[in-house]
Amino acid sequence: MIAQTATTRSRRAFAMPVALVVVLLVGVVTGLMFERQASQRRLIERQLWWYQEHHARFGIQEVVDAWMAQVPSNLQLEEALGEDGHAADLILSDGTVAVLTLHEGQGSLLTDHAALTASEHDACERMLEQLALIEGGRTEGRYRRSVGPASVSVNSAPPDVIRAVARATLGETRGEILAREILQERETKGAFQSPGALGQVLIRFSMSDTESMELQRMFTSRPTLYYLVVELRRGTDSRPLARYGGYIPLPDRRRTGQADDQAWGRRTAFLSWDDLGVE
């Protein structure tokens, strides 16, 4: 009897660790199953998000094309915009209102130089170096962009960007003087309406033909890059449901010729696409 009791206790003592190991294995397997399910759910959510973003982007692209088709060919783009760059309110098929706001987006320095010529690449590098010196350690994101032409809008660029462009060609001292003259002329007349208006300022400044050509190449009074913001609302006065934005190239309608008319009629191409969120 005593031997049988000892044997039973021994079996129980052996069964306890085995049971614990089994429980541990079940817990590990269950945890792995839940983790796998969570990973699959996150993957599905990312795919769904990409699908929605992809179709939202092309849907908004259609909206922009529809608005641009309504702008008369003899009307300048700036003249078609309302207060604060308001372009249009378009009612979509589901009743959602797309509020389009357009702003000139070429007043910053290009950071991606992969598609530039060697001379443009060197000029952009010098401008970024000068901007870094002007900023003195701080970095303003609005002074930089990753898409669009290498040239900078002389009408919308902040003073520090104007200074960087001028200093990159003329050096620090002469560049600062020219930047002040450009900014003063812009403040007095409101804007440089043509390349000739900027040329007049450069003529009054003592510089070589090479320097003048470089500045007229890196400054432009006729930008072709704009930033479009689209707010989706239930009504024009309601809170935004979503906000998207992106850089889009728009041809200069002040030039004449069949090529420009054809370019204006092409499908809008977003060079960037951002989910701006809602406040």
Kindly list the domain boundaries of the chain, sorted by start residue. 1-105+223-279, 110-220
Percent of the chain with pLDDT over 90: 34
pLDDT in tens, 93-102: 777 888 888 8
pLDDT at position 160, please?
96
pTM (two decimals): 0.72
Distances (CA, A) of 146 to 88, 106, 111, 209, 278: 27, 11, 5, 30, 24
Does 252 have pLDDT greater than 50? yes
Distances (CA, A) of 197 to 165, 185, 243: 17, 9, 37
**Distance (Å, whole) CA 12 – CA 120:** 83
Pair of tokens at residue 42: 């996150």
Name the most confidently modeled range: 81-95, 195-209, 247-261.
195-209
Q: How confident is the model at residue 128 (pLDDT cuts 50, 70, 90)?
A: very high
pLDDT in tens, 3-24: 555 555 555 555 666 666 666 7
Name the most confidently modeled range: 83-92, 245-254, 255-264.
83-92
DSSP three-state, residue 229: strand
